[in-house]
C-alpha cells in the first residue's frame, strides 16, 4: 500500500507519519512539504512541493490513499495568501487525487468549521459547518468541507473523501499560540463562563488518521472525546487567573497589537472557547477509541508546558495517561540506554525498557497538599523485600526507572516517589517543603506496607557538601540533568531556579520528619538518588546487600521457629 501525505512537515505530520510507517501493510509513504519532514524512516520518501502545484497528480499516481494535512494555521498578515493556500491548495489536492485514481482521501478538518456560534455540547455531524467570515481559519475549514461535499455529490461512487474534525491536539510534537495562551499564568477570554474545550492527544489523532487511511469513509467525522472541560476548570487545574472580557473590544485590541507585531494573533482568534463535538459516529465506523479523556490530555498539556496540576482530582493515574505524560522523559532515557554503558547494563539485565514499562504500575495517593504519584515496580520471582525510593528534589521518578527495573529483577519490589511539585504529583513545580516531603514519603510507605507483610526500607538522598556534588547523571551521561527537572516534563527550565529548588527541597527533606515504621533507611550520598556519585549501579548494589541480609535473617528466624 502506498500513501501520500501533504503537510508532512507540520505538527500533524510529525504525529501521523510514525503511525503510517509502523504499519507493515504500508510499503511506501510520500511526504510532501516545503521542507524535509522531522521523521527519518526507510519507508518515507520526502518531496518538496507546494499543494497548489500542477505536478501533484503525478506525485499521487499509484497511491491508494492520500492524507491532506497542509493548511495555514499560524496567522500571517497576508490573508489573501492564507486563503489561496488553504482553499485553492485543498481544491487542487482533491482534484489531483481524483485524476490520479486515488481510492481514499482523508482531509484534516477542524471543529472550528462549525463556526463560533453558541452551539450545544456535544455537537454531532448533523449540524451544518457554517464557518465564520470574520475568522479566516474557521472560514477556510468550512469552505474546504463545502467543496469536498460538492465534489462527492458530483462524483458519486468514485473517490471516498473523509473529513476528520479534530479539537485541540496536544503532545510532544504540538506547540502553538493557542496552547501557550491556555497554559499561561493569566488568560483574558470572551464569555469565559460558557467557554469550553476538548483536547486530543497526538497518538489518538494519529490512530484516527491511520484507520481512516485504510477505510473508505465518506463525509464528515468528529474526533471528539466523550468529555469536555470548561475554561474555568482548566484555569483551576493549573492556577491560572482567568478574566472574562467583552469580545468586541478584545478583538480590536488584538488587531492593533497584531499589526504592531506585539501579539502573535489578531482578533480573528479571539473567540469564546471551541466547539465541543460528539465523536460517536467515527467510533462506530472504525472502532477508534481515544485512550485519554479531555481532562487527562489537558493535564498533560499543562505539565508539558511546565505548569502545575493543583487539584488532586486532576492528578493523572491511568497508565496510558501517565506514560504519555512521561513520553519526553522516557525518550531521553531510551537514548541513554543506547549510549551510556552503566544505564544500558541495568536495563538490559532486566529485559529491556519496554518490558519494565509494561510491568510497572502508576498509583496516586492522597496527601494534604493534593496527590502524590508513585511508580511501582513489582518484584519478579520470590519477593525479598520492598523499598520506597525518593527520587530526590529537582527530579522525578522516571529517572530512577533503570534502578527500579534492576531491583525488581532481583526480587525487590520498588515504589518510586515523585515529591510534591515534581513529576506527576500535584503542587507548584519544584516546590516541596518539609511537611510536603514528609507527607509524600509517609503516603508512599503506607502504600508499600499494604503490599507486603513486612515494613519497607526507605532509600533517600542525604545532602552533601557542594564540592562533592558530582557524578550521577552528569558523570554517567556526560551532560547535566535535562530540562525536565522540577517536574517540567517537557520544555526548558531556568538552571538557577533548578539549583535553588534542589537546595531548598534537599534542606527541608533532611530536616527530619516523623514517618510510618520502616525496616530501615538506606542513605544515598548526593542531592538525589538519580544524581548519586558513581551512578545508579552502586545504589542498586547497596540496596540489594541490605535487603538480602534482611531476607536472610528472616528466613533464619523462621527456620528456628519451625525447629
Per-residue pLDDT tens digits of the chain, which is 563 residues long: 999 999 999 999 999 999 999 999 999 999 999 888 888 999 999 999 999 999 999 999 999 999 999 999 989 999 999 999 999 999 999 999 999 999 999 999 999 999 987 777 899 999 999 999 999 999 999 999 999 999 999 999 999 999 999 999 999 999 899 999 999 999 999 988 889 999 999 999 999 999 999 999 999 999 999 999 999 999 999 999 999 999 999 999 999 999 999 888 999 999 999 999 999 999 999 999 999 999 999 999 999 999 999 999 999 999 999 999 999 999 999 998 888 878 888 899 899 999 999 999 999 999 999 999 999 999 998 899 999 998 777 788 998 999 999 999 999 999 999 999 999 999 998 888 889 999 999 999 999 999 988 899 999 876 544 433 333 333 333 344 444 333 444 333 444 444 444 444 444 444 445 678 888 888 877 656 665 556 788 889 989 999 999 888 887 777 777 76
Between CA 91 and CA 403 the distance in angstroms is: 55
Between CA 530 and CA 521 the distance in angstroms is: 17
Classify the C-alpha dihedral 415-421-423-426 as positive or negative.
positive
Q: How many CA atoms lie within 13 A of 396 on its CB side?
A: 32
User: pTM for this one?
Assistant: 0.89
What is the dotted CATH code of the domain comprising 319-462+526-560?
3.40.50
Contact call for residues 307 and 429 (beta carbons, < 8 A): yes
3-state helix, strand, coil in the chain (%, to 5): 45, 20, 40
Classify the C-alpha dihedral 45-48-50-56 as positive or negative.
negative
What is the dotted CATH code of the domain comprising 2-308?
3.40.50.720
Between CA 351 and CA 361 the distance in angstroms is: 17
Domain locations in the chain as residue ranges: 2-308, 319-462+526-560
Q: Judge whether 2-308 and 319-462+526-560 match in fold.
A: yes
Helix (H) or strand (E) holding 386: strand 385-390
Between CA 218 and CA 286 the distance in angstroms is: 12
Instruction: State the cell numbers at 200.
Output: 486530543
Amino acid at each position: 500500500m502506498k500513501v501520500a501525505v501533504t503537510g508532512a512537515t507540520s505538527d500533524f505530520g510529525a504525529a501521523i507519519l510514525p503511525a503510517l510507517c509502523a504499519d507493515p501493510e504500508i510499503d511506501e509513504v510520500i511526504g510532501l512539504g516545503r521542507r524535509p519532514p522531522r521523521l527519518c524512516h526507510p519507508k518515507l520518501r520526502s518531496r518538496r512541493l507546494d499543494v497548489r502545484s500542477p505536478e501533484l497528480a503525478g506525485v499521487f499516481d499509484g497511491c491508494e490513499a492520500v492524507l491532506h494535512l497542509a493548511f495555514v494555521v499560524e496567522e500571517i498578515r497576508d490573508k489573501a495568501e492564507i486563503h489561496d493556500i488553504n482553499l485553492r491548495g485543498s481544491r487542487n489536492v482533491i482534484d489531483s487525487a481524483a485524476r490520479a485514481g486515488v481510492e481514499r482521501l482523508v482531509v484534516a478538518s477542524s471543529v472550528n468549521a462549525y463556526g463560533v456560534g453558541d452551539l450545544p455540547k456535544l455537537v454531532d455531524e448533523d449540524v451544518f459547518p457554517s464557518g465564520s467570515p470574520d475568522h479566516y481559519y474557521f472560514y477556510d475549514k468550512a469552505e474546504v468541507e463545502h467543496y469536498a461535499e460538492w465534489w462527492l455529490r458530483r462524483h458519486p461512487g468514485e473517490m471516498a473523501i473523509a473529513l476528520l474534525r479534530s479539537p485541540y491536539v496536544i503532545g510532544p510534537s504540538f506547540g502553538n499560540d493557542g496552547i501557550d495562551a491556555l497554559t499561561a499564568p493569566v488568560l483574558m477570554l470572551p464569555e469565559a463562563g460558557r467557554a469550553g474545550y476538548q483536547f486530543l492527544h497526538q497518538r489518538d489523532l494519529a490512530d484516527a488518521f491511520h484507520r481512516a487511511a485504510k477505510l473508505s469513509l465518506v463525509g464528515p467525522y468528529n474526533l471528539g472525546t466523550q468529555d469536555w472541560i470548561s475554561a474555568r476548570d482548566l484555569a483551576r487545574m493549573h492556577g491560572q487567573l482567568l478574566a472574562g472580557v467583552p469580545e468586541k473590544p478584545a478583538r480590536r485590541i488584538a488587531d492593533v497589537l497584531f499589526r504592531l507585531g506585539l501579539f502573535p494573533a489578531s482578533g480573528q482568534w479571539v473567540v469564546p472557547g471551541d466547539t465541543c463535538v460528539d465523536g460517536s459516529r467515527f467510533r462506530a465506523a472504525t472502532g477508534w477509541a481515544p485512550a485519554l479523556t479531555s481532562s487527562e490530555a489537558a493535564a498533560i498539556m499543562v505539565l508539558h508546558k511546565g505548569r502545575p496540576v493543583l487539584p488532586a482530582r486532576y492528578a493523572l493515574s491511568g497508565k496510558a495517561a501517565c506514560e504519555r505524560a512521561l513520553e519526553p522523559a522516557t525518550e531521553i532515557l531510551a537514548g541513554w540506554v543506547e549510549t551510556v554503558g552503566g544505564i544500558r547494563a541495568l536495563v538490559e539485565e532486566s529485559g529491556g525498557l519496554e518490558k519494565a514499562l509494561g510491568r510497572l504500575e502508576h498509583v496516586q495517593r492522597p496527601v494534604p497538599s493534593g496527590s502524590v504519584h508513585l511508580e511501582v515496580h513489582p518484584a519478579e520471582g520470590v519477593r525479598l523485600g520492598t523499598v520506597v525510593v525518593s527520587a530526590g528534589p529537582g527530579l522525578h521518578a522516571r529517572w530512577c526507572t533503570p534502578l527500579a527495573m534492576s531491583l525488581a529483577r532481583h526480587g525487590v519490589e520498588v515504589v518510586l516517589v515523585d515529591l510534591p511539585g515534581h513529576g506527576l504529583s500535584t503542587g507548584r513545580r519544584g516546590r516541596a517543603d518539609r511537611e510536603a516531603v514528609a507527607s509524600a514519603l509517609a503516603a508512599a510507605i503506607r502504600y508499600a506496607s499494604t503490599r507486603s507483610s513486612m515494613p519497607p526500607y526507605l532509600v533517600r538522598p542525604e545532602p552533601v557538601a557542594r564540592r562533592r556534588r558530582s557524578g550521577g547523571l552528569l558523570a554517567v551521561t556526560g551532560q547535566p540533568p535535562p530540562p525536565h527537572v522540577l517536574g517540567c516534563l517537557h520544555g526548558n527550565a531556568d538552571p538557577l531556579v533548578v539549583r535553588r529548588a534542589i537546595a531548598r527541597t534537599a534542606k527541608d527533606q533532611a530536616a527530619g520528619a516523623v514517618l510510618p515504621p520502616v525496616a530501615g533507611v538506606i542513605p544515598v550520598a548526593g542531592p538525589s538518588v538519580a544524581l548519586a556519585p558513581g551512578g545508579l549501579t552502586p545504589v542498586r548494589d547497596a540496596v540489594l546487600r541490605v535487603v538480602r541480609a534482611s531476607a536472610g535473617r528472616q528466613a533464619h528466624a523462621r527456620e528456628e521457629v519451625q525447629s
